[in-house]
Structure 1
Amino acid sequence: MSAAYPLASCIEWQFSEAGELDARLRAAKATGFDLAEFHLWRDKPIAALAQALTETGMRLSSLCVDPRRSIVDPAQRDEMVTAVRETIAATACLGKPALIVASGFRVEGMGEDEHFANAVTALRAAADAAEQAGVMLLLEPLNTKLFATMYLVSTRLGLDLVEAVNSPNLRLLYDVWHSACMGEDITEVLAGRVHLVAHVQVADMADRNEPGTGSVDWSHVMQTLRDLGYAGAIGLEYFPTLPMDQSLALSRQTLAC
């Protein structure tokens, strides 16, 4: 069997009983994690997180560009690029984690080609900043069940954008739950293009809980990732239904990690 993938705890939703995010990092380490991730950073204790990372030896696999701004609306482009630059600067003390970018919502009256061109322009500018700083940007497709008018809800489209921008510092975040919500098949959407994927997140259908509690065929998902040659980490971005030591054990068993 291929080597197991490293797992990252989403401390935004996990270890909440520990309190602040830095305490959640320590709790995650005590449960067996070496990687963690969370969402927005401006309301988080950055200095305390940096200290906890140093003390535990843990690493952040990702967090989100904050504030979220549209990549398809030209009126928000400058704010989007500024948010990327400010996030890069503010999180350098956290070990330069990968930074997640969402697309924003469709612009009424705008055609598909214009949406795509605007996204490429914004992402190219953001990628320039990431290249200068030595930081990876992760473009994440979401789903229309949570966000009815979100622009980027297709893995194929996300990969098309990554290819069009053509930067070594822009890759795709493939979220199995969002993809499953959109009815995608992992083999079809990632075949021949997994080299453009730098991070994978997982949660089970339909309620976004730990792998092994829902209807996703995890054996198929994980074998596909291995067969295609995915070489990154797996982010456990789910709402736990069990105490985290048991939840991690179930996730490891289900994902064979």
Structure 2
Amino acid sequence: MSAVYQLSSCIEWQFAEAGDLAARLRAARDAGFDLAEFHLWRDKPIEAMAAALGETGMRLTSLCVDPRRSIVDPAERDAMIAAVRETIEATAILGKPDLIVASGFRVEGMSEEAHFANAVAALRAAADAAEAAGVQLLLEPLNTRLFATMYLVSTSLGLDLVEAVNSPNLRLLYDVWHSAVMGEDMGAVLADRIHLVGHVQVADMPDRNEPGTGTLDWPAITQTLRALGYDGAIGLEYFPTMPMEQSLAQSRRMLAD
């Protein structure tokens, strides 16, 4: 394996001085990135971004299904599936990046069993659409600090859902920062299940900045990921505290073996 992971810039939060996301793609390429990712797409210049990707040779690792709709509320299921289908169609010109799905909020009075069953049903329908289009979905657990009543705030539960849906086009997005906020032991929650993880994102604790600016043990994190067998890209989903050239250099140091 390589001595350092391939890194993906979150242009939603990085290279803001460059302008819109098409300009940020070019700035990211100039800074040495081959990969990028962002969040919602409906307010973004998709055609200009497609042109920038063609010019730079960059690849998008992921973006979010837009609008966000609940996977646990049956009243939102049709809208959730429609959002997946619309996102697949609208972002195909961006190279069919992975599409991130969050869970939505808990439904008051609903049992844990019903939450799980509703989530599986919604994700199964979404995975059917993804399979037909040749696109991968990423299910992302978040955290209760940001979203007090979010349903999916557990890596283990997220992996249970991925296993239950049993689609090759549905994987987990493991975010080191969300997981750390929830007090998870990364090695424990990912043990024997790393094959279900499609992407990893990073930021340091507590303030979601560059690796090395906070309290997390990055050598231990990268060693754990290697030991588990993860060899995919790592998304730098953090708020930079320094110019991106320096920020990228620091991230590379922190995330090297």
Task: Give the TM-score of the pair, scaled to structure 1.
Answer: 0.99
Q: CA deviation at 1:25?
A: 0.2
Q: CA deviation at 1:231?
A: 2.0
**How far apart, in 2, do the equivalents of 1:94 and 1:2 lie?**
27
Equivalent residue number for residue 232 of structure 1: 232
1:63 matched to 2:66? The reply is no
**How far apart, in 2, do the equivalents of 1:129 and 1:4 lie?**
34
**How far apart, in 2, do the equivalents of 1:28 and 1:220 lie?**
27
Query: SS at the partner of 1:61?
Result: strand
1:14-66 deviations in Å (ceiling 9; x for gaps): 00000010000000000000000000000000000000000000000000000
Equivalent residue number for residue 190 of structure 1: 190
Task: Give the TM-score of the pair, scaled to structure 2.
Answer: 0.99
Report the AA paired with residue 139 of structure 2: L
Report the AA paired with residue 117 of structure 2: A
**Contact 1:2-1:226 within 8 A present in 2 as well:** no
**How far apart, in 1, do the equivalents of 2:2 and 2:156 lie?**
27
1:167-218 deviations in Å (ceiling 9; x for gaps): 0000000000000000001000000000000100000000000000000111
1:173 matched to 2:173? The reply is yes
Q: CA deviation at 1:237?
A: 0.1
Query: SS at the partner of 2:131?
Result: helix
Equivalent residue number for residue 89 of structure 2: 89
Q: CA deviation at 1:3?
A: 3.5
Give 1:3-18 correspondences, 5 Å limit: 3-18=3-18
**Contact 1:102-1:140 within 8 A present in 2 as well:** yes
Equivalent residue number for residue 211 of structure 1: 211
Aligned length: 257
Report the AA paired with residue 125 of structure 1: A
Is there any run of 5+ residues in structure 1 with no aligned partner, and where? none
1:144 matched to 2:108? The reply is no
Query: SS at the partner of 2:232?
Result: coil
**Contact 2:102-2:139 within 8 A present in 1 as well:** yes
1:72 matched to 2:68? The reply is no
1:108 matched to 2:89? The reply is no
Report the AA paired with residue 188 of structure 2: E
Equivalent residue number for residue 255 of structure 1: 255
Report the AA paired with residue 232 of structure 2: G
Q: CA deviation at 1:2?
A: 4.6
**How far apart, in 2, do the equivalents of 1:3 and 1:102 lie?**
32
